Amino acid sequence: TAIEKLSRLARRDELTGLYNRRELEERLANELQRSQRSKRGFAVAIADLDDFKKVNDTYGHDAGDEVLKGLAKVLIGGIRGTDIVGRWGGEEFLFVLPETSQEGARVVLDRIRKRVSEINLSYRDMVIPLTISIGMSYCESKCERDSILKEADLALYEAKHTGKNRVLCHVR
């Protein structure tokens, strides 16, 4: 129905089909509350496509869109049913990994990072090499939304500036 379609559009990124930023904000708020009640930790991670501007400049924006769609499939295929991934903005993606250890989250994220570097995404008979950098923050006890996002973003920044194609965890 039209109402179901509008509801989906309100929660999903139109290009990738992943959750949009509004839905991610809501899911993160829910996870913060759940974690405080259950006293079980969770991870938040921000992934960013390495050198995405170069993809758009070299192959065109249509190719960039295809890359984002292909990447979305890899990201969604690499997480558990209870995990959340969505498009945070541009070529950035946010993960919320509930009820996991810091090491468990790192293993999942590194597996995704590896899969992205192994896919041979082709566009108009051209193979486009891809890598992603991921910054992660782990919440074990009471955490604030802004601080956990800032920590993940700082870890991402460090991953980008120390070689790319890596997963780094913010250390408190």
Cα 20 from Cα 84, distance rounded (Å): 11
pLDDT digits (tens, 9 = 90+) for 62-94: 999 999 999 999 999 999 999 999 999 999 999
Quote the pTM value: 0.93
Q: 112-170, pLDDT tens digit by residue? A: 999 999 998 888 988 999 999 999 999 987 889 999 999 999 999 999 999 999 999 99
Q: In what order do the strands lie in the sheet with 42-49?
A: 84-89, 92-97, 42-49, 132-139, 167-169
